Amino acid sequence: MKKRIMVVGPTQSGKSSLTNVLNDSARPLKKTQDVIYGKNTIDTPGSYIENASMYRYLIATAQTASHVLMLVDQSRLTEVYPPGFAKSFNCPVIGVINKIDLAPHNAKLCIQQLKRIGVLEPYFWISLKDNTGVEALKDYLIGQQESSKKN
């Protein structure tokens, strides 16, 4: 079975929109209360990262993931991730900065936040309004999954 990509981020950061794009789906967007398994993704509720008592569920869910995408919303710099949190996962963690068309002046702060939580470069800058950067992210993920099959 092909492993899925888990998407983590604060409420309203674009997780479900991104999972729709990665799944080539048009699932209706609404507040996600539960983990939703898509064709290629695992969409996690924002409350799981916004509430420290839920971290263990994210870590457990990631056991079946090929990668974890940690979303940072450039338009709303909410500090929800604890320092070094990316090191909690046993699969690669990829930093995704979403809503880059909004608040471009926050770009440096997004990088600082990803570094603080332990996410290594490359970072992916995307806008789901016009799908800027989405193909580069998809290409990277496909390349990563193919190289992990060879190992």
Cα separation of 15 and 116, whole Å?
21
Cβ–Cβ under 8 Å, residues 99 and 74: yes
Domain count, the chain: 1
Cβ–Cβ under 8 Å, residues 150 and 144: no
Cβ–Cβ under 8 Å, residues 5 and 67: yes
Q: Which range marks the domain in which residue 20 is found?
A: 4-150
Which amino acid would we find at residue 50?
Answer: E
pLDDT at residue 140 tops 50: yes
* 98-135 pLDDT tens trace: 999 999 999 999 999 999 999 999 999 999 999 999 99
Q: What is the pLDDT of residue 117?
A: 97
**Count of CA atoms in the C-beta half-sphere (13 A) of 111:** 8
Cα separation of 151 and 149, whole Å?
6
Higher model confidence: residue 44 or residue 149?
A: 44
Q: What is the pLDDT of residue 130?
A: 92
Q: What is the pLDDT of residue 149?
A: 64
* 9-64 pLDDT tens trace: 999 999 999 999 999 887 666 666 889 999 999 999 999 999 999 999 999 999 99
Q: What is the pLDDT of residue 1?
A: 40
pTM of the model: 0.91
Domain CATH number, residue 31: 3.40.50.300
* 82-97 pLDDT tens trace: 999 999 999 999 999 9
Q: What is the pLDDT of residue 124?
A: 97
